[in-house]
Structure 1
């Protein structure tokens, strides 16, 4: 009887030891999973904290050499007041390798085009894209005086009233240059108005390699593209690409 009691106690001790071991493994596994989730969450964050160490204005853009942790790199954002040595924050951006800025006559090994930088870390409500900006702009009325229609051309109002009719087709438009951003992602972005409005829109953006200046009245020919997304917040409902100035 004493023999069987000893055997029983040994078996009970073994079972208890196994349970403790499994509990320990489960605890370690849970801890490991939690740690992985935490790391994944940090890794998936799109917010970047940077310190500006150099700045180069270029047309409507400004190139910034920044320091993030121990890494130095270049970003490009729409022009605004930037202080050397100050800390800023930005979200996602589009990286361009071997990017040549024609306006600066310089090639960057890599540059990130971001939609902007902010002074505070958490300001997601201020995150905007071109559609939002355009809607805010279009609350005002165009100051451009009605410009005569180009021969064989269309009005800007006609384009905005029936954009799908002109999708992937060449159009000719005559208008006044109201804004110019040169050397962005390898092309020049130009805003054109002719004094007409369609569906509340009167400002058409075109991309071209040709140079013009604000105030010029030009006739252009290019291909209409809808819902063009360049990344980094540059989303256009209607855009005219591969433009030549006639």
Structure 2
């Protein structure tokens, strides 16, 4: 899913929430409509950053070029490693509040900043890049009830997977748990945090990637190969993770 900042002429610098998923229509300022094609995911180091009208602009040096991107205001500093998801390209963009012209700005719903494991855009249910943070336990919603969950046949609890991770590495495992966080379309896949009430902080939250979709609170049956010590770059490392998992919502 592509997210874009809505933009139109003579907006008087009134910031608006990112459109989802329609092309830009209202926003901070701008002269031209967004291009029809969405920019692909990019990554690099921040060279410059500034905040205005509720948005953060960052100049990023990628492997091939220097680009500008903007998202609802988020914490970032020069030198940070960032991943910019797919977004709308706004060519010949003029910011009234910055009084600055840009050849092109890529507007996105959020930006993934290395080392951060908290929502960059609080309240955004979709496209929350924080799902990829370091292997830190998520906090399940207070009203989430894990009672009644049973292990699948020949399966494991989340805590058992952690306890037996060395023996289970590279093998298929099955677990029944509840979705405590779902973040779609990050690095071309969906990221899900799972808990079943077992384990303690550090051994109670399991991250998976999948092409399937689920909602927070869903009970799911998950099957997939357990991988250890996976490094996705920019400081995002996982002691254990199930990639390309098969997910069945029950």
1:198 shift after superposition: 6.2
- Which residue does 1:14 correspond to in 2? none
**Residue of 40, 46, 58 corresponding to 1:66:** 58
Cα offset, 1:67, TM superposition: 3.5
Q: Which has the larger radius of gyration?
A: 1
The answer for unaligned runs of 5 or more in structure 2 is: 1-44, 90-104, 117-132
Could you tell me which of 163, 169, 179 is aligned with 1:177? Answer: 179
**1:197-236, aligned counterparts within 5 Å?**
197=199, 200-236=202-238
> Is the CA contact (8 Å cut-off) linking 2:155 and 2:174 kept in structure 1?
yes
Could you tell me how far 1:162 is from its partner in structure 2? 1.4
The structure with the largest helix share of the pair is 1
Aligned residues: 165
Instruction: For structure 1, list consecutive stretches of 5 or more residues without a partner in the other structure.
Output: 1-45, 57-63, 118-128
Matched, 1:48 2:40: no
8 A contact 2:46–2:77 mirrored in 1: no
Question: Scaled by the length of structure 2, what TM-score is found?
Answer: 0.53
**Shift in CA distance, 198/170, structure 1 to aligned 2, threshold 3 Å:** farther
Aligned pairs for 1:1-246 (under 5 A) are: 48-51=47-50, 66-67=58-59, 71-74=66-69, 82=73, 88-93=77-82, 101=86, 113-115=112-114, 130-131=134-135, 133-134=136-137, 144-146=145-147, 147-197=149-199, 200-246=202-248
In the alignment, the residues of structure 1 paired with residue 144 and residue 232 of structure 2 have an alpha-carbon distance, to the nearest angstrom, of 29
- After TM superposition, the score normalised by the length of structure 1 is 0.53
CA RMSD of aligned residues (A): 4.2
